[in-house]
């Protein structure tokens, strides 16, 4: 993997926008040249520079871009408002290693092909995406074209690379849209570069705090499921067509600290619930740190309900309930089997089934939060187990 820091310039400052919105700045640093120096001093040999004002027609930061190109030996690719061969030539002559094209490249394929033939291997096309649809004009105009169709067309030109930015994830510090990247990369005949928001390491950060992500998909005659899981901040998105299930999945994400992205379609409620549980469990099993705390126990009250949960995520699948809802009791069992987890849920009190089930998911979420904590120690007398199968 090659990491390329981005220096986005707006009003003469280095900024980071959240979700591609010019009304939402997460970061504003007054000196882009100093920011670039920070990255190069840290050992990065390439930079991605964007003139946001030029991209949106609000102005130009040409002087600052020129200062960056003449101040550093790093390979710099530059974009933002580049819509003519003269602009491409100026940037390359000033020292840009590559030039990033966006709006005109997407909206005028014939012009792009002509430019790619004139500057072969020196142009990068920015396929910026929001909800699978390509956006241009500094992320402000959304097109009806699917990004995979656009990438397929770009394969006709001799480009240096295709840059795919998940605008809806930009600046949120939650990683990229992994589901999108897994589909866009194989579609491209050129090097495909995902853009994402990451945190720079700090002296206080633990080596065990690296992001862990997993994507699981399941498609049968009955259902089609997609689940992405990350040990993150507890952000949940669930679109299954079953309102209470969506509520429980978002609740599970919030209380566990997992970032969950779930989408599902199915013929019957039972099939959808079961297959979502299978995929959530399988996704969780893949992100468990080798030195996770492993065990957890929580008791959660919710009005009349009081529910206890005990959990072991150490690779021993077992479930013991029951819950008063057969559907959600089955969800717990399917989850435990596929997460390779031992899950005990005991209803201590409760008359309202809604409250009991919700308390159970909150208790499970809190247990997951505790059990997934990376303590840096393998909690097993066996240590790390390696299984070798001889023919």
* Residue 63 scores a pLDDT above 70: yes
183 shares its domain with 283:
no
Average confidence (pLDDT) over 28-52:
91
* Residue 390 scores a pLDDT above 50: no
229 shares its domain with 109:
no
Kindly state the tokens that stand for 324: 């008063």
d(CA 53, CA 134): 20
* Residue 211 scores a pLDDT above 60: no
pLDDT of residue 197: 44
Q: Is 312 a catalytic residue?
A: no
Instruction: Give percent above pLDDT 90 in the chain.
Output: 56
Q: How confident is the model at residue 73 (pLDDT cuts 50, 70, 90)?
A: confident
Helix (H, G, I), strand (E, B) or coil at 72: coil
pLDDT of residue 205: 38
* Residue 187 scores a pLDDT above 80: no
364 shares its domain with 231:
yes
Strands 161-166 and 192-195: parallel
In the sheet with 213-219, reading across from the earlier edge strand, the strands are 213-219, 223-231, 258-266, 236-239
- Higher pLDDT: 240 or 216? It is 240
Q: Residues 51, 73, 110, 128: which is the catalytic one?
A: 128
Query: Is residue 159, in this structure, part of any structural domain at all?
Result: yes
Average confidence (pLDDT) over 76-82:
92
What's the chain's average pLDDT? 84
pLDDT of residue 355: 97
Query: Is residue 203, in this structure, part of any structural domain at all?
Result: no
* Residue 210 scores a pLDDT above 50: no
Q: How confident is the model at residue 183 (pLDDT cuts 50, 70, 90)?
A: low
pTM beyond cutoff 0.75: no
pLDDT of residue 20: 62
- Domain of 276 in residue numbering reads as 210-371
Kindly state the tokens that stand for 127: 């396929």
Q: How confident is the model at residue 151 (pLDDT cuts 50, 70, 90)?
A: confident
76 shares its domain with 174:
yes
- Whose tokens are 């939060």? That residue is 369
Q: Is 246 a catalytic residue?
A: no
CATH number at residue 174: 3.20.20.70
363 shares its domain with 232:
yes
Q: How confident is the model at residue 102 (pLDDT cuts 50, 70, 90)?
A: confident
Q: How confident is the model at residue 152 (pLDDT cuts 50, 70, 90)?
A: confident
Average confidence (pLDDT) over 129-154:
76
Number of domains in the chain: 2
- Give residue-wise pLDDT tens across range 157-176: 888 888 887 776 665 555 56
d(CA 121, CA 270): 52
Average confidence (pLDDT) over 311-322:
95
* Residue 277 scores a pLDDT above 50: yes
221 shares its domain with 139:
no
Query: Is residue 386, in this structure, part of any structural domain at all?
Result: no
CATH number at residue 284: 3.30.230.40
Q: What residues have CB less than 8 Å from 250, skipping those under 6 apart?
A: 236, 237, 238, 260
68 shares its domain with 133:
yes
Query: Is residue 180, in this structure, part of any structural domain at all?
Result: yes
Exposed / middle / buried, residue 341 (Cβ in 10 Å: 0-12, 13-18, 19+): buried
26 shares its domain with 83:
yes
Per DSSP, 26 falls in state: E
Query: Is residue 205, in this structure, part of any structural domain at all?
Result: no
100 shares its domain with 215:
no
**Per-position b or e across 292-323, b if 16+ CB within 10 A of its CB:** bbbebebebebeebbbbbbbbbbeebebebeb
pLDDT of residue 139: 64
Candidate from 127-131, 255-259, 284-288, 350-354 with smallest mean pLDDT: 127-131
Helix (H, G, I), strand (E, B) or coil at 269: helix
d(CA 111, CA 119): 12
User: For residues 317 and 346, is the Cβ–Cβ distance under 8 A?
Assistant: no
Q: Which of 135, 160, 195 is the last residue of a domain?
A: 195
pLDDT of residue 27: 83
pLDDT of residue 204: 38
User: For residues 103 and 136, is the Cβ–Cβ distance under 8 A?
Assistant: yes
Q: Residues 8, 53, 177, 275: which is the catalytic one?
A: 8
pLDDT of residue 380: 58
53 shares its domain with 132:
yes
184 shares its domain with 64:
yes
Query: Is residue 83, in this structure, part of any structural domain at all?
Result: yes
Query: Is residue 380, in this structure, part of any structural domain at all?
Result: no
Q: How confident is the model at residue 103 (pLDDT cuts 50, 70, 90)?
A: confident
Query: Is residue 378, in this structure, part of any structural domain at all?
Result: no
* Residue 178 scores a pLDDT above 60: no
pLDDT of residue 16: 85
284 shares its domain with 234:
yes
* Residue 150 scores a pLDDT above 90: no
- Give residue-wise pLDDT tens across range 330-347: 999 999 999 999 999 999
- Maximum Cα–Cα distance for the chain, whole Å? 75
- Higher pLDDT: 203 or 67? It is 67
Average confidence (pLDDT) over 213-226:
90
Secondary structure of 287-304 as H, E, C letters: HCCCCECCEEEEEEEECC
**Torsional sign, CA 358, 319, 323, 338:** positive
Taking the CA atoms of residue 347, residue 349, residue 351 and residue 356 in that order, the dihedral angle to the nearest 10 degrees is -40
């Amino acid at each position: 993997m090659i990491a390329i820091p981005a220096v986005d310039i707006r009003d003469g400052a280095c900024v980071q926008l959240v979700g591609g919105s010019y009304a939402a700045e997460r970061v504003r640093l007054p000196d882009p040249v100093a920011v670039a120096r920070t990255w190069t001093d840290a050992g990065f040999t390439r930079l991605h520079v964007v003139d946001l004002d030029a991209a949106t027609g609000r102005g130009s930061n040409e002087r600052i871009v020129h200062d960056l190109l003449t101040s550093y030996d790093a390979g710099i690719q530059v974009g933002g408002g580049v819509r003519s061969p003269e602009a491409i030539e100026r940037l390359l002559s000033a020292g840009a290693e590559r030039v990033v094209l966006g709006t005109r490249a997407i909206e005028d394929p014939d012009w792009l092909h002509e430019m790619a033939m004139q500057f072969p291997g020196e142009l990068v096309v920015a396929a910026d995406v929001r909800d699978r649809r390509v956006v241009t004009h500094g992320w402000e105009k959304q097109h009806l074209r699917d990004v995979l169709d656009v990438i397929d067309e770009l394969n006709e030109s001799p480009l240096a690379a295709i840059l795919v930015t998940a605008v809806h994830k930009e600046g949120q510090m939650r990683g990229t849209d992994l589901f999108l990247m897994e589909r866009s990369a194989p579609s491209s005949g050129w090097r495909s570069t995902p853009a994402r928001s990451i945190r720079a390491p700090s002296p206080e950060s633990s080596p065990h705090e690296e992001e862990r992500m997993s994507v699981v998909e399941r498609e049968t005659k009955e259902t089609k499921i997609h689940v992405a899981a990350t040990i993150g901040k507890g952000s949940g998105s669930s679109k299954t067509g079953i309102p209470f299930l969506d509520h429980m999945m978002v609740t599970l994400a919030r209380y566990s600290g997992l970032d969950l992205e779930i989408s599902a379609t199915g013929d019957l409620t039972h099939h959808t619930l079961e297959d979502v549980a299978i995929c959530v469990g399988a996704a969780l099993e893949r992100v468990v740190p080798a030195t996770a705390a492993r065990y957890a126990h929580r008791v959660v009250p919710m009005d009349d309900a009081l529910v206890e949960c005990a959990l072991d995520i150490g690779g021993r699948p077992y479930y013991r309930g029951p819950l008063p809802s057969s559907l959600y009791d089955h969800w717990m069992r399917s989850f435990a089997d596929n997460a390779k987890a031992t899950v005990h849920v005991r209803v201590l009190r409760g008359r309202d089934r809604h409250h009991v089930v919700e308390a159970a998911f909150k208790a499970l979420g809190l247990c997951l939060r505790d059990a997934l904590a990376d303590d840096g120690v393998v909690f097993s007398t066996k240590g790390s187990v390696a299984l070798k199968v001889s023919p």
